[in-house]
Amino acid sequence: MDLDLVTRHLEDGICTLTVNRPDKLNALNQQTLQALDQAFAEAAADQRVRVVVLTGAGAKAFVAGADISQMNQLTPVQGRDFSLLGQQLMRRIEGLGKPVIARINGFALGGGLELAMACHLRIAADTAKLGQPEINLGLIPGFGGSQRLLRLAGRAATLELCLLGAPISASRAQALGIVNEVVPADALDARVAELAAQLAKAAPLALRAILDCVLVGGECALEQALQFESTQFGLVFATADMREGTAAFLERRQPEFAGQ
């Protein structure tokens, strides 16, 4: 992984990954997508990591989009491959099995919004702008934006953002269900840290089961989803964490989950 493109910091079970191209507003080129994919693969495999926080370097952007200067040179086949590379990363994040929080500190446009939507929680500064402006370039979303936006915000909002290409405020994004919470810019770090710390103390196997239930259930019929949930519910009874959590409740103390 090119450490110049994605930086990694691990403390107290919280792995912070930062897209580090502030001079390009953290735009996603092929190398950055690959570096992110490797960083998330490593986070998935690292037992010390309980939660991942994803953000962008600098005060202006989370990720302002895909790198237009690189896309301008792509052939149709290369364009499809670039899309598949981005979608591979988004699927890895979505299916990581550990909670991923998007710390949206500025512009989250195009590929940046697609990246944020692949995360499990999205916390935005009140100064952030979000959107899918690809239409203005003669393009369409290529990293899964049309589909995740549809699932998060519905058909009307998806068509508005993708057809008109205009960015929206963080508060409007929250109203549409695209982000979970909007906070003042100077409170963003504290709020993300609070949520990450809470998730880092939660039962890792139960967290994974919840993430799997939502991911699988969102793509299949209700009856199949309910069966999957019941199976996951039964499996967590095999964990030491479930015994610890229920015992701690009965003993009126805080549980200490070991991920076992």
State the CATH number of the domain containing residue 193: 3.90.226.10
Write out the residue range of the structural domain in which residue 158 sits.
Answer: 6-200
Give every residue of the chain whose pLDDT is below 50, as ranges: 1
Domain final position from 161, 182, 200: 200
List 108's β-bridge partners, or say none: 63, 130
- Predicted local distance difference test score (pLDDT) of residue 1: 46
Question: How far apart are the C-alpha atoms of 79 and 93, rounded to whole Å?
Answer: 22
In this structure, are 12 and 62 located in the same domain?
A: yes
* Whether pTM exceeds 0.85: yes
In this structure, are 52 and 104 located in the same domain?
A: yes
Residue appearing with tokens 């979505």: 94
Q: Are the CB atoms for 122 and 180 separated by under 8 Å?
A: yes
Domain final position from 175, 200, 225: 200
- Predicted local distance difference test score (pLDDT) of residue 3: 53
Provide the Cα torsion 100, 140, 23, 174; round to 10°: -50
In this structure, are 111 and 151 located in the same domain?
A: yes
Q: Are the CB atoms for 258 and 244 separated by under 8 Å?
A: yes
Residue 51 main-chain phi, psi, to 5 deg: -150, 150
Q: Phi/psi zone of residue 239: left (φ > 0), alpha (ψ -120 to 50 degrees), beta?
A: beta
Hey, how many other C-beta atoms are within 10 angstroms of the C-beta on 198?
11
How many domains does the chain contain in total?
2
> What is the H or E stretch that residue 162 is in?
helix 155-164
Q: How does pLDDT run across 82-121, given as a tens digit for each residue?
A: 999 999 999 999 999 999 999 999 999 999 999 999 999 9
In this structure, are 14 and 118 located in the same domain?
A: yes
In this structure, are 75 and 110 located in the same domain?
A: yes
Residue 79: both structure tokens together: 């364009």
Q: How does pLDDT run across 137-167, given as a tens digit for each residue?
A: 999 999 999 999 999 999 999 999 999 999 9
> Cα–chain-centroid distance for residue 190?
18
Residue 97: both structure tokens together: 């099995």
Q: Look at residue 258 and tell me if it is in a domain.
A: no
The residues annotated with a catalytic role in the active site are 114, 134
Q: Look at residue 171 and tell me if it is in a domain.
A: yes
